[in-house]
Structure 1
Amino acid sequence: MATNWKVDTAHSEVQFKVKHLMITTVTGYFKTFDLEVSTEGDDFSKASSIVFTADVDSINTNNEQRDAHLKSADFFDAASHGQIRFVGRQFEKTGDDTALLHGDLTIRGVSKPVTVNVELGGIVVDPYGQTKAGFTVDAKISRKEFGLTWNAVTEAGSVVVSDEIKLHSEIQLVKQG
């Protein structure tokens, strides 16, 4: 029998990191996102459905001008492509509490296979009787593979924005009744 899980957004975060001018790292977040998972009991290695979405308009890098640029056609093109979507296809255990999750990531209408590292923090029952599962999820992607190709060059010849994007999420799921 399928068990359904839904993200607890109050106890979860989705962030990305990118090198700026190749000397510092800028961190951004998606404030609005969703994740739904269907499993067999509490066994996430047998998930039959894993669907994550993030609202591009909710991007936040703590700089309104940069956020507006990221939402523009130069980057995510939020007006035409309002969501980022990841659909998990295969959960591959690599250790007792670690796994690789293979799936398809769609950004700007471009879908590519991506593998993310997943670490299970544990499954507990909270003080309100809800069963919760915690995960840390990490990955690296090439932004250019998804059509995010805007860049500029400094006087010294280095690029403004690196191609590699580091993704990091802390996810808490709530078992649905």
Structure 2
Amino acid sequence: MNATSATVAIPGYLVGTWKADPVHCEIAFSVRHLMLSKARGRFTSYDVTIVTSEDPLGSSVAATIDLASIDTGNEPRDNHLRSADYLEVEKYPTMSYRSTGIRRADDGWVIDGELTLHGVTGQVPLAVEVNGFGPDPFGGQRAGFSATAQINRRDFGIDSTILMDGGGVVVGDKVSISLEIEAVLQK
């Protein structure tokens, strides 16, 4: 492996194909509710593949998320989110993300990519922190990443709006996304 300036900045960096370990990952979101607080949830079924290249800037990420796996801790709300009012999972069962480039940012990395949700594809950058690379107790190698992004649900055709008396909306447009990914190096 050539030690470029980028790899030197990532201790233990390894080249290879990595799969997310669902036991040690979280794909979560939050959105304003009643303009007062945030409703939070996560997706429990997904496939995430990360390919680290000799030069980290040539690496890639691909993810597919089963939208029916949404879990907010409230079954009636989850069912409503799965309905045609929001995610419309019978018509659009998954959302996917595919990186189109990686670049250095002041305090970490940015993965540029395309999110496909509700039949619409849009550019969504992920701000990424590389948490590290290292051995696990089972003889394998692991890598950890944290990432955040924000999307506007209306940009993806999810425009169900319930107005509140006196102004405001029940569910906000801006959705904050956070990912905690622990990935296992594939042999």
User: Given the two structures, how large is their TM-score scaled by the length of structure 1?
Assistant: 0.94
What is the alpha-carbon root mean square deviation over aligned residues? 1.5
2: CA distance between counterparts of 1:171 and 1:119? 10
1:90 deviation in Å?
0.3
Aligned equivalent of 1:88: 99
Aligned equivalent of 2:81: 70
**32-41 vs 68-77, greater mean Cα deviation:** 32-41
2: CA distance between counterparts of 1:117 and 1:40? 19
2: CA distance between counterparts of 1:44 and 1:11? 23
2: CA distance between counterparts of 1:156 and 1:130? 57
1:44 deviation in Å?
3.8
Determine helix, strand or coil for the equivalent of 1:45.
helix
2: CA distance between counterparts of 1:120 and 1:44? 11
1:46 deviation in Å?
2.2
1: CA distance between counterparts of 2:20 and 2:64? 11
Q: Structure 2: 5+ residue runs without aligned partners?
A: 2-14
Matches within 5 A, 1:22-171: 22-41=35-54, 44-47=56-59, 49-95=60-106, 98-171=108-181
Match for 2:74: what amino acid? N
Identity of aligned residues (%): 35
Determine helix, strand or coil for the equivalent of 1:167.
strand
Deviations 1:106-151 (A, max 9, x none): 1011000111100000001011111111010100110000011001
1:84 deviation in Å?
0.8
2: CA distance between counterparts of 1:157 and 1:72? 25
**Which of the pair is proportionally richer in strand?**
1
Q: Structure 1: 5+ residue runs without aligned partners?
A: none
2: CA distance between counterparts of 1:44 and 1:71? 37
Determine helix, strand or coil for the equivalent of 1:174.
strand
2: CA distance between counterparts of 1:142 and 1:3? 33
Runs of 4+ in 1 over 2 A off after TM superposition: 43-46
Deviations 1:34-81 (A, max 9, x none): 10122225x54321x311111000001111111111101111110010
Structure 2 residue 10 is matched with structure 1 residue 6: no
